Amino acid sequence: MPHSNDSYDVIILGAGASGLFCAFTAAQRGRRVLVLERANKVGKKILMSGGGRCNFTNHFVEADNFISANRHFCKAALKRYTQWDFIGMVERYGIDYEERRHSQLFCQNSAKDILNMLLDECAAAGVEIRTHCELASVAALSPQPRSEKYSDDQQARYALALQQGQHSLSLRCHSLVIATGALSIPTLGGSGIGYDIARQFGLTVTELQAGLVPFMFSDQLKPLCERLSGLALEVEVSCNGRSFSENLLFTHRGMSGPVMLQISNYWHPGDALSIGLLPHSNAEEWLLDTKVAQGRSLLRTVLGQKLAKGLVQELQQLWWPDYAEKMLAEFSDRELRRIAGLLHQWQVKPSATEGYRTAEVTRGGVDTDQISSKTMEAKHQPGLYFIGEVLDVTGWLGGFNFQWAWSSGYSAGLAV
């Protein structure tokens, strides 16, 4: 068991993507680095991401792919360590990867390849990692007079009290990095401790909400979703000026799939979503032309050419129950235009999201106005750094949150 008064140049709270990246970046500069993880394993979120294949970055990364009260904050870090830098590391390790839709990059074999790469870098640089560490308290130390024993760069500025199993630990460090993640998926170690530390030192935390998360419904759509559970189709979904085209998945709880996870980052309670069920068609023109060409057909038969029959049956009950058995020729042009409008802009109002239990990220976080965009250090609390998801920087689905972890971790690793 290590000595109870161990002192380090850098202590990092959290052995996830950003924490591990920061650790070996700092250690490669000669810093003595300790990473503390409260869970029993490191990198749990890395291992489960992308269905176990880890969507580790994207070929196209821009500031517009991130949500923050300060939309410019992420630019400096993303420029300092780019997606190409990380891809280069992946290739040096000989990790096989593939590009999927929307330029997303995944491991071909396993997310373990990415985690093992990070751990190999840590081991080579001499990073110490401890698991099962529960933080009890953190305190800033009063500056000590200069002495021959410690230079300003070595002087301990923070004291930590921890519990590791049955053992109590007292640790000190010059730089303390908060890489604790956020509230999403608590079963993988997510918690709000990073926000508590921020508030302790006078930093503001913006409003927090579950992000990249499925929706639930409490009205007539709830039984509809239950009946269609398992059905997926490509749609376009819009909310608050943002639109995404991707697959929607009906579940027994509501609506999920990549497109719903994406738009959830822009949704607020009470907002409606607009779903375009035929994103690549002009429904009005198509239906009016079909009325002329196939006037004796039923509308559900015609729509069944482009949409799943089960979905068409449900829409029939919602939108034209009185015309269910009437031929298309019996529909007025006005009625067909109304139905075409609904096909392009089906307005649905979720009752809630599934919350942090299944959310891939937490929207909001430590206010970036109080953080240096170059170093990730708190502007008014020297030696205290925040990286990764704990900050008010939330990426889209598609590898952007991992790229933020690499980039913010690298920036802090160069500064601690």
How do beta strands 55-58 and 66-67 pair?
unpaired
Question: Distance (Å, rounded) from C-alpha 192 to C-alpha 207?
Answer: 13
Beta strands in 59-145 (DSSP E): 66-67, 97-100, 104-107, 128-130, 133-140
Specify the pLDDT at position 148: 45
**At CA 12, angle to CA 139 and CA 204, rounded to 5?**
60
Specify the pLDDT at position 145: 55
Question: Distance (Å, rounded) from C-alpha 174 to C-alpha 143?
Answer: 11
Specify the pLDDT at position 146: 53
As a whole number, the mean pLDDT across the chain is 94
When pLDDT is cut at 50, 70 and 90, the band that residue 4 belongs to is: very low
When pLDDT is cut at 50, 70 and 90, the band that residue 190 belongs to is: confident
Top-confidence residue, 147 or 81: 81
Q: Is the pLDDT of residue 147 over 80?
A: no
Distance in angstroms between the alpha carbons of the first and the last residue of the chain:
26
When pLDDT is cut at 50, 70 and 90, the band that residue 144 belongs to is: low
Bridge partners of 233, per DSSP, are 248
Beta strands in 158-272 (DSSP E): 158-164, 167-178, 209-211, 215-216, 232-239, 242-250, 254-256
Q: Is the pLDDT of residue 28 over 70?
A: yes
> What does the H/E/C string look like for 167-188?
EEEEEEEEEEEECCCCCCCHHH
Specify the pLDDT at position 3: 40
Question: Distance (Å, rounded) from C-alpha 152 to C-alpha 198?
Answer: 24
Nearest to 258 by CA among 54, 98, 101: 101
> Using one digit for the tens of pLDDT, what is the confidence trace for 255-309?
999 999 999 999 999 999 999 999 999 999 999 999 999 999 999 999 999 999 9
Specify the pLDDT at position 353: 97
Specify the pLDDT at position 1: 34
> Using one digit for the tens of pLDDT, what is the confidence trace for 90-116?
999 999 999 999 999 999 999 999 999
Specify the pLDDT at position 153: 57
Give percent of the chain above pLDDT 70. Answer: 96
Average pLDDT over residues 314-342: 96
Q: Is the pLDDT of residue 149 over 80?
A: no
Average pLDDT over residues 217-241: 96
Q: What are phi and psi of 109, to 5 degrees?
A: -100, -70
When pLDDT is cut at 50, 70 and 90, the band that residue 184 belongs to is: confident
Average pLDDT over residues 231-238: 98
The CATH superfamily holding the domain 214-354 is: Translation factors (2.40.30.10)
The model carries a pTM of 0.93
Nearest to 329 by CA among 282, 289, 292: 292
Please give the single-letter amino acid code of residue 386: F
> Using one digit for the tens of pLDDT, what is the confidence trace for 41-92?
999 999 999 999 999 999 999 999 999 999 999 999 999 999 999 999 999 9
Q: Which residue has the tokens 């517009």?
A: 64
Give percent of the chain above pLDDT 90. Answer: 92
Q: Is the pLDDT of residue 2 over 80?
A: no
What stretch(es) of the chain map to CATH 3.50.50.60? Answer: 7-209+360-415
Q: Is the pLDDT of residue 35 over 50?
A: yes
Six token digits for residue 346: 């089906």
Q: Which CATH class is domain 7-209+360-415?
A: alpha beta
Nearest to 175 by CA among 146, 196, 153, 148: 153
Average pLDDT over residues 381-401: 97
Six token digits for residue 412: 């802090």
Q: Is the pLDDT of residue 150 over 90?
A: no
Are the beta carbons of 4 and 160 closer than 8 angstroms?
no
Residue 165, CA distances (Å) to 131, 162, 193, 316 in order? 9, 10, 19, 60
Six token digits for residue 205: 């935390």
Specify the pLDDT at position 122: 98
Bridge partners of 107, per DSSP, are 97
What stretch(es) of the chain map to CATH 2.40.30.10? Answer: 214-354
